[in-house]
Amino acid sequence: MQLVNAEVVTISPLTEFVHKVTLKPDTAVSFEAGQYLQLVLGEKDKRAFSIASRPSMHHELELHIGASGADSYAMQALEHLQQAHTNKQSVVLEVGLGISQLRVDNQRPIILLAGGTGFSYIKSMADHLAEIEFTQPVLLYWGVKEESALYAKQEMEAWAASRKNFQFIPVVENASATWQGHTGYVHQAVMKDIVSLEPYSIYMAGRFDMIGVVRDDFINHGAEREHMYADAFAFIK
Ligand SMILES: Cc1cc2nc3c(=O)[nH]c(=O)nc-3n(C[C@H](O)[C@H](O)[C@H](O)COP(=O)(O)OP(=O)(O)OC[C@H]3O[C@@H](n4cnc5c(N)ncnc54)[C@H](O)[C@@H]3O)c2cc1C
């Protein structure tokens, strides 16, 4: 873990509820794709956010913060960042946390699964896999409630088009009549598409209640527990 001060460079809306934050650390940062950082609000008050940028970007960190409701965990963090940005003060970060980072040494095909802003976690891995020209299949499933929440749809379509072994599958839970792709819960779309999950390494992020359901359903669908990764596992039973 690396403790750094960082300047808040930009805060911009990705949707009505999700904000993109870019930070410039005062020293080069080192982390692995799929790790998270903590924004330090106080000695005992640290807020976890996945690092959306790829590890080769040593001088810039990107976050996607989903914040609604005035007193929410994420809204308070966003307000702290906004205040620092306005006052040109730095924020304190603990960078390079978590145990669910990408493993590419075993050459298994990969499923990257995100619910909502869990996308931030898999974005770093997707970009890193493109950068290292990973040759195994990579299936990126991103589930959202409404189509308007697919804020990086075009970017991920371009990512998938960049290599023949990459696929991007957006899944909309409450789809409109014009939506042509998968509907419902994102992990159910995975189980519809893939007969057995046994060969895959699976990386997942989303709401805690989602991760518990996905873990159990995926194991019933052949997935091997030792090849499933989610930092949320540490917070759920
Ligand atoms: C280490 C760590 C890092 C984190 N990093 C971030 C971060 O960078 N940014 C951030 O905003 N939050 C972060 N969080 C908090 C958490 O990941 C988010 O609260 C969560 O991703 C929010 O999802 P959402 O509200 O956008 O999803 P929703 O919009 O509620 O759901 C999106 C999709 O998820 C699926 N889904 C939701 N609920 C269920 C269910 N019960 N069963 C099956 N599928 C379901 C569905 O496909 C649904 O369409 C982090 C938490 C931890 C522990």
Contacts of 9 (CB under 8 A, 6+ apart): 22, 23, 24, 60
With a 6 A CB cut-off, is 41 part of the ligand 1 pocket? no
Ligand 1 mean position, distance from CA 73 (Å): 13
Q: How far apart are CA 197 and CA 187, in angstroms?
A: 11
pLDDT score, position 127: 98
Intervals of the chain under pLDDT 70: none
Which domains are delineated in the chain?
2-97 (2.40.30.10), 110-235 (3.40.50.80)
pLDDT score, position 69: 76
**CA 214 to ligand 1: nearest atom:** 43
- Residue bearing the CA closest to ligand 1, atom 37: 210
- Residue bearing the CA closest to ligand 1, atom 39: 210
With a 6 A CB cut-off, is 170 part of the ligand 1 pocket? no
Q: Could you read off the pLDDT of 147-162 as tens digits, one per residue?
A: 999 999 999 999 999 9
Burial state string for 148-185 with b = 16 or more CB within 10 A and e = fewer than 16: ebbbbeeebeebbeeeeebbbbbbbbebeeeeeebeeb
pLDDT score, position 106: 78
With a 6 A CB cut-off, is 95 part of the ligand 1 pocket? no
Which residue is listed with tokens 């802003």? 117
